[in-house]
Amino acid sequence: MGFGQGSGSDHLTAMTSEQAFLAYEAVRHRLPVARSAGTAFRYAGTLAEVADEVDVFLLDAFGVLNIGEAAIPGTKERIDDLRAVGKRVLVVSNAAGFPHAALMEKYARLGYDFASEDVITSRATLLAGLNGRRDLHWGLMATRSTGLRDLEGLELTYLEDDAAPYADVDGFLMIGSAAWTEARQAHLEQALRERPRPVLVGNPDIVAPRENGFSTEPGHFAHRLADQTGIEPQFFGKPFVNIFDLAFARLGSVDRARVLMVGDSLHTDILGAQTAGVRSALISGFGFFAGQDVAQAIARTGILPDFVVERP
């Protein structure tokens, strides 16, 4: 398997952690600029050690709540403890591939108890960003088996192996890449060369940590088409501020200096926190940097979290 070309339902890629890191670094020109005011971070064992400084915890999903289909041990208990002392806990995730109801069902299976409105996703962010474009005919990068549900009000055509729909639609929505192939990517790039149209990306992630490696996510293919066609996609989700705007609409008036984004990725979670003007904690023991030299990665990127935390 090559970079971005996997097999199986998880669309696993053979890239290493270093290759994934370099893939994010290669697209920094399309990401928000790092804006850290500090020069150092603090280590902590768990989120309990920083709780006195935080009123609101925004949790990433992959690498914080779960790795693939398995809950990270101890995270549920940590959330329960934080709530017990009055902390608010929301999920802020680049989870675009599944309808919201299906995502809530997954979290329940994993043992988590979140109110539906406290789970903020890049899929919801994309839908909120459609504004006056809901009446367009969209070509959809998604997996049929996950269903539409919250997308059902849109005029959609799945992008699959027939090239004709790629030419006919008014624009493209990239929300799930588990069933995406190199042939479909070639159809999309050719269609955009022949007639430029809007490309909206509901998951800016390039990869996501799974049980046995990384899955390739829509952001990977979006950056590829931008390189090949010159068309700049519009991204919805971390590290872009639009997903945090939804989170703060839910939270209401809070002191952003006492809000902490917790995630396993420098280029999405930590950079996104900086973009939104909140504090951040990088999880080092699970997800993207498990087993890696986190301090070296921070130095290489210049993306500085407020805390490095071993586990939630």
Q: Would you say how long the chain is, in residues?
A: 312
Question: String of b and e for 19-56 (b: at least 16 CB within 10 Å)?
Answer: ebbebbeebeebbbebebeeeebeebebbeebbeebbb
- The tens digit of pLDDT for each residue in 53-93 reads 999 999 999 999 998 889 999 999 999 999 999 999 999 99
Confidence of residue 9 (pLDDT cuts 50, 70, 90): very low
CATH superfamily of 28-124+239-309: HAD superfamily/HAD-like (3.40.50.1000)
Share of the chain above pLDDT 70, in %: 95
pLDDT band at 44 (very low <50, low <70, confident <90, very high): very high
Residue recorded with tokens 């990088």: 282
Mean pLDDT, to the nearest integer, of 283-310?
95
Cα 286 to Cα 7, 197, 204: the distances in Å are 23, 38, 20
134-235, what's its fold? Rossmann fold (3.40.50)
| Among candidate residues 205, 170, 8, the one with its CA nearest the CA of residue 92 | 205
- Total Cβ atoms within 10 A of residue 282: 28
| Angstrom distance (rounded) from CA 98 to CA 63 | 18
**Domain ranges within the chain, ordered by starting residue:** 28-124+239-309, 134-235
Work out the pLDDT band at 210, boundaries 50, 70, 90.
confident
| Residue 5 confidence (pLDDT) | 33
User: How far is 198 from 192, CA to CA, in rounded Å?
Assistant: 9
pTM listed for this prediction: 0.93
Domains 28-124+239-309 and 134-235 share a fold: yes
Residue 13 pLDDT: 67
**Angle 20-32-170 from CA coordinates, rounded to 5°:** 85
- Give the separation between CA 215 and CA 289, rounded to whole angstroms: 15
Of the given ranges (79-88, 89-98, 150-159, 206-215), which has the lowest mean pLDDT?
A: 206-215
- What pLDDT sits at residue 147? 84
Q: What pLDDT sits at residue 3? A: 28
Q: What is the mean pLDDT of residues 129-158?
A: 92
* Residue 219 in this model has a pLDDT that exceeds 70: yes
